[in-house]
Amino acid sequence: MKVFMTGGTGFVGTYLAKRFISEDHSVTILTPNAGGQALKIKGLAYLEGNPTVEGEWQKAVAGHDVIINLAGASIFSRWTEEQKKILRSSRMLTTRNLVDALPQDAKNITFFSTSAVGYYGFHSDEELVETSPAGTDFLARLAYDWESEALKAQQKGARVIITRFGIVLGKSGGALGQMIPLFKFFLGGPLGSGRQWFSWVHAHDLVEAFIFLLQKKDISGAVNLCSPQPVRNKELGNAIGRVLHRPSFLPAPGFMIKLILGEFGSVLLEGQRVIPRRLLDAGFKFKYPEIDEALKSIVLD
Protein backbone atom coordinates (compact mmCIF):
# COMPACT_ATOMS: atom_id res chain seq x y z
CA MET A 1 0.00 0.00 0.00
CA LYS A 2 0.97 3.61 -0.48
CA VAL A 3 0.92 5.72 2.70
CA PHE A 4 0.78 9.54 2.82
CA MET A 5 1.74 11.11 6.14
CA THR A 6 1.71 14.60 7.63
CA GLY A 7 3.80 15.21 10.75
CA GLY A 8 5.85 12.21 9.74
CA THR A 9 9.26 13.61 10.68
CA GLY A 10 8.42 13.85 14.38
CA PHE A 11 8.78 11.41 17.26
CA VAL A 12 5.70 9.28 16.51
CA GLY A 13 5.89 9.73 12.74
CA THR A 14 9.39 8.28 12.57
CA TYR A 15 8.27 5.14 14.41
CA LEU A 16 5.25 4.77 12.13
CA ALA A 17 7.17 5.33 8.90
CA LYS A 18 9.73 2.64 9.76
CA ARG A 19 6.99 0.18 10.77
CA PHE A 20 4.92 0.63 7.62
CA ILE A 21 8.00 0.28 5.45
CA SER A 22 8.88 -2.95 7.28
CA GLU A 23 5.52 -4.26 6.02
CA ASP A 24 6.61 -3.40 2.43
CA HIS A 25 4.34 -0.36 2.24
CA SER A 26 5.77 2.79 0.65
CA VAL A 27 5.58 6.01 2.68
CA THR A 28 5.51 9.62 1.49
CA ILE A 29 5.99 12.27 4.17
CA LEU A 30 4.81 15.81 3.57
CA THR A 31 7.28 18.28 5.07
CA PRO A 32 8.19 21.95 4.60
CA ASN A 33 11.86 20.94 4.23
CA ALA A 34 12.10 17.86 2.05
CA GLY A 35 15.84 18.19 1.47
CA GLY A 36 16.93 18.40 5.09
CA GLN A 37 15.53 15.17 6.49
CA ALA A 38 17.95 12.79 8.17
CA LEU A 39 15.92 9.59 7.80
CA LYS A 40 16.80 8.06 4.43
CA ILE A 41 15.58 4.50 3.92
CA LYS A 42 14.27 2.49 1.00
CA GLY A 43 10.54 2.94 0.57
CA LEU A 44 10.48 6.41 2.14
CA ALA A 45 10.02 9.58 0.09
CA TYR A 46 9.55 13.21 1.03
CA LEU A 47 7.22 15.71 -0.59
CA GLU A 48 7.80 19.40 0.08
CA GLY A 49 4.80 21.41 1.17
CA ASN A 50 3.05 23.13 4.06
CA PRO A 51 -0.02 21.14 5.11
CA THR A 52 -1.72 24.22 6.57
CA VAL A 53 -1.68 25.91 3.15
CA GLU A 54 -3.43 24.72 0.00
CA GLY A 55 -0.93 23.83 -2.70
CA GLU A 56 0.43 21.46 -5.32
CA TRP A 57 1.06 18.85 -2.64
CA GLN A 58 -2.66 18.13 -2.47
CA LYS A 59 -2.57 16.56 -5.94
CA ALA A 60 -0.48 13.69 -4.54
CA VAL A 61 -2.99 12.69 -1.85
CA ALA A 62 -5.45 10.89 -4.13
CA GLY A 63 -2.76 8.45 -5.26
CA HIS A 64 -2.45 6.86 -1.82
CA ASP A 65 -4.31 4.09 -0.01
CA VAL A 66 -3.68 5.28 3.54
CA ILE A 67 -3.56 8.82 4.90
CA ILE A 68 -2.03 9.39 8.35
CA ASN A 69 -2.57 12.85 9.77
CA LEU A 70 -0.18 13.58 12.65
CA ALA A 71 0.49 17.27 12.06
CA GLY A 72 -0.15 19.86 14.74
CA ALA A 73 1.85 22.30 16.86
CA SER A 74 3.03 20.82 20.17
CA ILE A 75 0.79 21.43 23.18
CA PHE A 76 3.84 21.44 25.48
CA SER A 77 4.11 25.20 25.83
CA ARG A 78 2.57 28.08 27.73
CA TRP A 79 -0.88 28.69 26.25
CA THR A 80 -1.05 32.36 25.46
CA GLU A 81 -4.01 33.44 23.33
CA GLU A 82 -1.68 33.57 20.34
CA GLN A 83 -0.37 30.07 21.04
CA LYS A 84 -3.91 28.75 21.31
CA LYS A 85 -4.62 30.11 17.84
CA ILE A 86 -1.52 28.29 16.54
CA LEU A 87 -2.53 25.03 18.24
CA ARG A 88 -5.96 25.25 16.67
CA SER A 89 -5.07 26.44 13.18
CA SER A 90 -2.22 23.94 12.74
CA ARG A 91 -4.67 21.09 13.33
CA MET A 92 -7.81 22.38 11.68
CA LEU A 93 -6.21 23.72 8.49
CA THR A 94 -4.06 20.64 7.92
CA THR A 95 -7.01 18.29 8.37
CA ARG A 96 -9.31 20.41 6.21
CA ASN A 97 -6.74 20.54 3.41
CA LEU A 98 -6.24 16.77 3.54
CA VAL A 99 -9.98 16.09 3.38
CA ASP A 100 -10.34 18.54 0.49
CA ALA A 101 -7.53 16.71 -1.33
CA LEU A 102 -9.28 13.33 -1.16
CA PRO A 103 -10.94 12.15 -4.37
CA GLN A 104 -14.74 12.38 -4.50
CA ASP A 105 -14.88 8.59 -4.37
CA ALA A 106 -12.50 7.71 -1.52
CA LYS A 107 -14.08 4.41 -0.48
CA ASN A 108 -10.78 2.57 -0.82
CA ILE A 109 -8.87 5.03 1.37
CA THR A 110 -8.26 4.65 5.12
CA PHE A 111 -7.86 8.04 6.79
CA PHE A 112 -6.12 7.98 10.20
CA SER A 113 -6.40 11.30 12.01
CA THR A 114 -4.74 11.92 15.35
CA SER A 115 -6.52 13.13 18.44
CA ALA A 116 -5.72 12.69 22.13
CA VAL A 117 -7.17 11.35 25.36
CA GLY A 118 -7.46 15.01 26.33
CA TYR A 119 -10.71 14.79 24.36
CA TYR A 120 -12.41 13.56 27.54
CA GLY A 121 -11.37 16.52 29.66
CA PHE A 122 -10.18 16.27 33.25
CA HIS A 123 -11.61 13.50 35.44
CA SER A 124 -10.95 11.83 38.75
CA ASP A 125 -11.10 8.03 39.03
CA GLU A 126 -13.82 6.94 36.60
CA GLU A 127 -12.77 4.85 33.60
CA LEU A 128 -13.26 6.51 30.23
CA VAL A 129 -13.89 4.65 26.97
CA GLU A 130 -14.50 5.73 23.39
CA THR A 131 -18.20 6.41 23.98
CA SER A 132 -17.54 8.71 26.96
CA PRO A 133 -18.48 12.35 26.27
CA ALA A 134 -16.05 15.11 25.39
CA GLY A 135 -14.82 17.50 28.05
CA THR A 136 -15.25 21.27 28.12
CA ASP A 137 -11.74 22.63 28.74
CA PHE A 138 -9.62 24.12 25.94
CA LEU A 139 -7.78 20.92 25.04
CA ALA A 140 -11.00 18.88 25.00
CA ARG A 141 -12.75 21.39 22.75
CA LEU A 142 -9.74 21.46 20.46
CA ALA A 143 -9.74 17.65 20.16
CA TYR A 144 -13.50 17.58 19.55
CA ASP A 145 -13.30 20.14 16.73
CA TRP A 146 -10.22 18.44 15.25
CA GLU A 147 -12.02 15.11 15.15
CA SER A 148 -15.12 16.69 13.61
CA GLU A 149 -13.02 18.11 10.79
CA ALA A 150 -11.47 14.69 10.08
CA LEU A 151 -14.82 12.89 10.09
CA LYS A 152 -15.89 14.97 7.10
CA ALA A 153 -13.79 12.55 5.03
CA GLN A 154 -16.61 10.04 5.54
CA GLN A 155 -18.71 12.16 3.20
CA LYS A 156 -16.34 11.10 0.42
CA GLY A 157 -16.57 7.45 1.42
CA ALA A 158 -13.25 7.16 3.25
CA ARG A 159 -12.91 4.92 6.30
CA VAL A 160 -11.97 7.36 9.07
CA ILE A 161 -10.19 6.19 12.21
CA ILE A 162 -9.68 8.77 14.95
CA THR A 163 -6.66 7.69 17.00
CA ARG A 164 -6.87 9.17 20.50
CA PHE A 165 -3.29 8.99 21.77
CA GLY A 166 -2.25 8.60 25.35
CA ILE A 167 1.18 10.00 26.23
CA VAL A 168 3.57 8.08 23.96
CA LEU A 169 6.64 6.59 25.66
CA GLY A 170 9.60 5.61 23.53
CA LYS A 171 13.29 6.09 22.85
CA SER A 172 14.83 9.29 21.55
CA GLY A 173 12.21 11.84 22.49
CA GLY A 174 8.65 12.25 23.63
CA ALA A 175 7.64 12.70 27.26
CA LEU A 176 10.38 10.44 28.62
CA GLY A 177 13.01 12.47 26.79
CA GLN A 178 12.06 15.39 29.02
CA MET A 179 11.51 13.44 32.23
CA ILE A 180 14.49 11.08 32.43
CA PRO A 181 17.19 13.79 32.69
CA LEU A 182 15.41 15.20 35.76
CA PHE A 183 15.53 11.82 37.49
CA LYS A 184 19.17 11.32 36.57
CA PHE A 185 19.95 14.59 38.34
CA PHE A 186 17.88 13.52 41.36
CA LEU A 187 15.11 16.01 40.54
CA GLY A 188 12.36 13.56 39.62
CA GLY A 189 9.12 13.13 41.49
CA PRO A 190 5.35 13.56 41.41
CA LEU A 191 3.67 16.60 39.92
CA GLY A 192 1.35 18.30 42.37
CA SER A 193 -0.59 15.73 44.40
CA GLY A 194 0.65 12.86 42.23
CA ARG A 195 -2.84 11.31 42.31
CA GLN A 196 -3.85 12.38 38.80
CA TRP A 197 -4.18 9.59 36.25
CA PHE A 198 -1.62 9.21 33.48
CA SER A 199 -2.85 7.43 30.35
CA TRP A 200 0.16 6.28 28.37
CA VAL A 201 1.20 3.94 25.56
CA HIS A 202 4.50 2.35 24.56
CA ALA A 203 5.55 3.45 21.06
CA HIS A 204 5.79 -0.20 19.99
CA ASP A 205 2.15 -0.84 20.89
CA LEU A 206 1.03 2.38 19.24
CA VAL A 207 2.52 1.51 15.86
CA GLU A 208 1.32 -2.09 16.09
CA ALA A 209 -2.18 -0.76 16.76
CA PHE A 210 -2.03 1.19 13.49
CA ILE A 211 -1.12 -1.99 11.58
CA PHE A 212 -3.86 -3.88 13.41
CA LEU A 213 -6.51 -1.26 12.67
CA LEU A 214 -5.53 -1.05 9.03
CA GLN A 215 -6.27 -4.75 8.69
CA LYS A 216 -9.54 -4.58 10.68
CA LYS A 217 -11.76 -3.25 7.89
CA ASP A 218 -14.85 -3.21 10.12
CA ILE A 219 -13.42 -0.66 12.57
CA SER A 220 -13.89 3.07 12.10
CA GLY A 221 -14.44 6.10 14.31
CA ALA A 222 -12.66 6.84 17.58
CA VAL A 223 -10.14 4.37 19.03
CA ASN A 224 -8.18 4.96 22.24
CA LEU A 225 -4.48 4.25 21.73
CA CYS A 226 -3.27 3.83 25.28
CA SER A 227 -2.26 1.07 27.67
CA PRO A 228 -5.10 -0.84 29.36
CA GLN A 229 -3.32 -0.10 32.64
CA PRO A 230 -3.07 3.67 33.20
CA VAL A 231 -1.17 4.74 36.30
CA ARG A 232 -1.27 7.63 38.69
CA ASN A 233 1.40 10.28 38.27
CA LYS A 234 3.10 9.22 41.51
CA GLU A 235 3.20 5.59 40.31
CA LEU A 236 4.83 6.74 37.07
CA GLY A 237 7.51 8.61 38.98
CA ASN A 238 8.16 5.63 41.23
CA ALA A 239 8.48 3.35 38.20
CA ILE A 240 10.97 5.67 36.49
CA GLY A 241 12.94 5.90 39.73
CA ARG A 242 13.07 2.10 40.06
CA VAL A 243 14.32 1.62 36.51
CA LEU A 244 16.95 4.37 36.80
CA HIS A 245 17.84 3.55 40.44
CA ARG A 246 17.10 7.13 41.40
CA PRO A 247 14.89 8.60 44.12
CA SER A 248 11.44 9.78 43.06
CA PHE A 249 10.24 11.64 46.12
CA LEU A 250 10.94 15.27 45.17
CA PRO A 251 7.53 16.76 44.28
CA ALA A 252 6.93 19.68 41.93
CA PRO A 253 4.39 21.91 43.72
CA GLY A 254 1.18 22.43 41.78
CA PHE A 255 1.13 26.19 42.33
CA MET A 256 4.62 26.48 40.86
CA ILE A 257 3.68 24.47 37.77
CA LYS A 258 0.66 26.70 37.19
CA LEU A 259 2.74 29.81 37.77
CA ILE A 260 5.28 28.73 35.14
CA LEU A 261 3.00 27.05 32.58
CA GLY A 262 -0.30 28.82 33.10
CA GLU A 263 -3.36 27.03 31.73
CA PHE A 264 -1.25 24.22 30.27
CA GLY A 265 -0.20 23.33 33.81
CA SER A 266 -3.67 21.85 34.37
CA VAL A 267 -2.87 19.17 31.78
CA LEU A 268 -0.01 18.00 34.00
CA LEU A 269 -1.82 18.38 37.31
CA GLU A 270 -5.11 16.79 36.28
CA GLY A 271 -5.70 13.78 34.08
CA GLN A 272 -8.00 11.06 32.88
CA ARG A 273 -8.17 7.28 33.33
CA VAL A 274 -8.63 6.07 29.76
CA ILE A 275 -9.15 2.46 28.68
CA PRO A 276 -8.62 1.22 25.08
CA ARG A 277 -11.95 -0.61 25.03
CA ARG A 278 -12.31 -0.95 21.27
CA LEU A 279 -8.80 -2.34 20.78
CA LEU A 280 -9.29 -4.86 23.57
CA ASP A 281 -12.69 -5.94 22.27
CA ALA A 282 -11.22 -6.40 18.78
CA GLY A 283 -8.52 -8.73 20.14
CA PHE A 284 -5.45 -6.48 20.08
CA LYS A 285 -2.65 -7.76 22.32
CA PHE A 286 -0.44 -5.21 24.04
CA LYS A 287 3.21 -6.16 24.34
CA TYR A 288 3.76 -3.57 27.09
CA PRO A 289 0.56 -3.17 29.13
CA GLU A 290 2.45 -2.53 32.40
CA ILE A 291 4.48 0.59 33.07
CA ASP A 292 7.54 -1.11 34.64
CA GLU A 293 8.14 -3.43 31.69
CA ALA A 294 7.50 -0.61 29.24
CA LEU A 295 10.08 1.63 30.91
CA LYS A 296 12.65 -1.15 31.15
CA SER A 297 12.35 -1.83 27.43
CA ILE A 298 12.91 1.86 26.67
CA VAL A 299 15.59 2.79 29.19
CA LEU A 300 17.59 -0.43 29.50
CA ASP A 301 17.51 -1.94 25.99
CA nearest to 5, candidates 43, 36, 38, 35:
43
Q: What is the pLDDT of residue 187?
A: 56
DSSP 157: T
Task: State how far the alpha carbon of 11 is from the alpha carbons of 137, 174, 221, in Å.
Answer: 26, 6, 24
Tell me which of 252 and 239 has the higher pLDDT: 239
Q: Where are the domains of the chain?
A: 2-169+200-226
Which tens digit of pLDDT belongs to each residue from 25-57?
A: 999 999 988 777 767 888 899 999 999 999 999
Q: What is the pLDDT of residue 239?
A: 85
Which tens digit of pLDDT belongs to each residue from 137-157?
A: 999 999 999 999 999 999 999
Question: Beta-carbon neighbour count of residue 81 at 10 Å?
Answer: 6
Which tens digit of pLDDT belongs to each residue from 49-92?
A: 999 999 999 999 999 999 999 999 888 888 899 999 999 999 99
Question: Given a cut of 60, is residue 186 above it in pLDDT?
Answer: no
Please tell us whether the domain made up of 2-169+200-226 is placed in CATH 3.40.50.720: yes
Question: Given a cut of 90, is residue 192 above it in pLDDT?
Answer: no
Rg of the chain, C-alpha, whole Å: 19
Q: Is the pTM of this model over 0.85?
A: yes
Residue 59, exposed/middle/buried by CB under 10 A (0-12, 13-18, 19+)?
A: exposed
Residue 74, exposed/middle/buried by CB under 10 A (0-12, 13-18, 19+)?
A: exposed
Q: What is the pLDDT of residue 250?
A: 65
The chain-wide mean pLDDT, for the chain, equals 90
